[in-house]
Each structure stands twice: as C-alpha cells, then as structure tokens.
Amino acid sequence: MNVPLNKLKRVEKDKKEVKKSGVSNIIKQKAQNISTEIDLRGQTVDEALYNLDKYLDDAYLAGLNSVRIIHGKGTGALREGIKQALRKHQYVKSMRMGDLSEGGSGVTIVELK
C-alpha cells in the first residue's frame, strides 16, 4: 500500500491510558497467584515432570524460598521420577522428604536458589 505523506495524520496517545507490559508485570502476577505447593498425584511421570518444570519456573520468578511437591506414596515411580528431575533442575538448591507432619514420603520439600 502506498499513501502520499501529506495524507497521513499524526495520532496522539494519552499516556495515562497506555498500560505498561513486560516482564515485571508477569512476575508480579505470578507472585500474587502462585501457591507454595503443587499436587501431582494421579499424573503420569511425563505429565508430572512437565507440570513440575512449569511450576518451578513460576515459583522461582515469584521469589519463593521453598515449595512443597505432593506426589503421593503409591508405587514410588512418580516420587523417583520427580527426585531425579529435581537433582538436575537449575533452580533447586536442595530437597528432602517431608516430615510426618508434612506428608511423609508422599511429599518432597524443595528449597529454591
């Protein structure tokens, strides 16, 4: 499309109406909506690892110090898959099984960097 320059009009924007967007707003939204725990019971290992990775990203961005991962007791396959993934995850500082009052072997407590 070609338009002669003299046919163009300048449009002024009201600066008060322009909303700021960007990373800082995303981080603020995550911080307000993120839970300190995620429940992965009943998911396959692949589903759980995908959801866990997304959750850890959000928790890290929100500035959480620690999170609680509920994987259940069951056969232990989910717990082992999660444990292996956490060992390699970039945001994980340390991890431990939950105390009896926290859910015992059905929960993993993760400290974030």
What distance in Å separates the CA atoms of residue 77 and residue 28, rounded to the nearest whole number? Answer: 35
Q: Name the fold adopted by 34-112.
A: Ribosomal Protein S8; Chain: A, domain 1 (3.30.1370)
Instruction: Report the predicted TM-score, pTM, of the whole model to 2 decimal places.
Output: 0.71
Hey, where are the domains in the chain? 34-112
pLDDT tens track of the chain, all 113 residues?
787 878 778 777 655 544 555 666 666 666 667 899 999 999 999 999 999 999 999 899 888 999 999 999 989 899 999 999 999 999 999 999 999 988 899 999 999 99
Cβ 66 vs Cβ 101: under 8 Å: no
Give whole-number Cα distances, 99 to 1, 68, 96, in Å.
Answer: 68, 11, 9
What distance in Å separates the CA atoms of residue 53 and residue 50, rounded to the nearest whole number? Answer: 5
- pLDDT at residue 9, as a whole number: 81
Instruction: Write out the two tokens for 17.
Output: 């109406």
Instruction: Write out the two tokens for 1.
Output: 């499309």
